[in-house]
C-alpha cells in the first residue's frame, strides 16, 4: 500500500520557547549599534519563519492518503501530543510498504521525528529519509528535482506542469497559521488533503518510470 503523508505546521509563540533558546535565536539577528526598530523588524521576520523549523514550530495537521483505495484520514487540532500519538498508532497498524511524500525526506519526516522526540511521543515504525532512493520512500520532489536539492519547484508548480488541480485553491501554507489561530481546522484538513491528492497524482504519473 503506497501511503501519502503530508503535514501542516505553524510557528510557536516566542514566549513558548525557553528564554535562553529565544535569546540565542534573537542574537543571530542583532548587531552592534543596531537601532531598536530595525532589531524589532529582524526579530519579527525570524518569528515569521518559526513554522519551518521543528524546534520553533509545531505540527497542527497530518494527512494520510492510501494511493490504491483513495481512503484518507487526518489528525488535526491544538493538542499536538495527541495528534502525534494518533498518527504513530495509525502508522503502526498500517505499516505501509511505500511512503509517498512531496519533500518529505527533507521536511515532513524529520519534522515529525523531532517534534515527537521533543514531546516524548514514541514512534511505531521508522520514517525513511535515505536520499536518492525511491523505496521505501518515494519523495516526489526529490525525483522531479533529479536529486538537485536546490532546484526550485513547489507542489503547486509541479501540479500545474503535469496538468493537475491546484492544491492551493482555498488555502496556502502562508495562511495556515491564521486559520489555526481562528480555529478553522476543517479548512486546514481540506488543504492538507489537497496536498496529499496532488502528491498522489504526481506519484501515479511518475510510477511507471520507476517501478517495473
| Residue 34 pLDDT grade (very low, low, confident, very high; cuts 50, 70, 90) | confident
| Residue 10 pLDDT grade (very low, low, confident, very high; cuts 50, 70, 90) | very high
Q: Are 90 and 64 in contact (CB under 8 A)?
A: yes
pLDDT digits (tens, 9 = 90+) for 171-194: 666 789 899 999 999 999 999 999
Structural domains present in the chain: 2-17+54-209 (3.30.420.10)
pLDDT digits (tens, 9 = 90+) for 44-80: 888 889 999 999 999 999 999 999 999 999 999 999 9
Rounded average pLDDT over 98-108:
97
How many residues are given for the chain?
A: 212
| Residue 202 pLDDT grade (very low, low, confident, very high; cuts 50, 70, 90) | very high
pLDDT of residue 47: 87
User: Where on the phi/psi map is residue 187: left (φ > 0), alpha (ψ -120 to 50), or beta?
Assistant: alpha
Q: Are 15 and 200 in contact (CB under 8 A)?
A: no
Q: Are strands 98-101 and 2-11 parallel, antiparallel or unpaired?
A: parallel
**Closest Cα partner for 171 from 45, 61, 86?**
61
Return the number of other C-beta atoms located less than 10 Å from residue 151's C-beta: 11
Q: What angle do CA 206, 88, 121 make, to 5 degrees?
A: 130
Q: Are 43 and 29 in contact (CB under 8 A)?
A: yes
pLDDT of residue 149: 62
**Closest Cα partner for 200 from 159, 170, 172, 168?**
159
Q: What angle do CA 92, 119, 100 make, to 5 degrees?
A: 40
Amino acid at each position: 500500500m503506497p501511503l501519502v503523508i503530508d503535514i501542516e505546521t505553524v510557528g510557536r509563540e516566542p514566549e513558548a520557547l525557553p528564554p535562553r533558546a529565544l535569546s540565542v535565536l534573537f542574537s543571530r539577528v542583532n548587531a552592534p549599534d543596531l537601532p531598536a526598530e530595525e532589531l524589532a523588524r529582524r526579530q519579527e521576520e525570524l518569528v515569521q519563519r518559526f513554522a519551518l523549523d521543528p524546534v520553533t514550530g509545531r505540527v497542527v495537521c497530518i494527512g494520510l492518503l492510501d494511493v490504491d483505495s483513495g481512503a484518507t484520514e487526518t489528525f488535526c487540532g491544538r493538542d499536538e501530543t495527541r495528534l502525534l500519538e494518533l498518527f504513530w498508532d495509525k502508522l503502526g497498524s498500517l505499516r505501509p510498504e511505500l511512503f509517498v511524500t512531496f519533500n518529505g525526506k527533507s521536511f515532513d519526516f524529520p519534522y515529525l521525528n523531532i517534534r515527537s522526540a521533543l514531546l516524548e511521543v514514541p514512534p511505531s515504525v521508522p520514517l525513511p529519509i535515505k536520499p536518492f532512493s525511491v523505496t521505501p520512500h518515494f519523495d516526489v520532489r526529490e525525483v522531479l528535482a533529479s536529486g538537485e536539492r536546490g532546484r526550485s519547484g513547489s507542489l503547486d508548480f509541479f501540479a500545474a506542469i503535469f496538468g493537475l488541480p491546484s492544491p492551493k485553491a482555498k488555502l496556502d501554507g502562508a495562511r495556515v497559521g491564521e486559520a489555526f489561530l481562528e480555529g478553522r481546522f476543517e479548512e486546514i484538513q481540506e488543504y492538507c488533503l489537497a496536498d496529499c491528492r496532488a502528491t498522489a497524482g504526481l506519484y501515479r504519473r511518475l510510477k511507471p518510470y520507476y517501478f517495473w
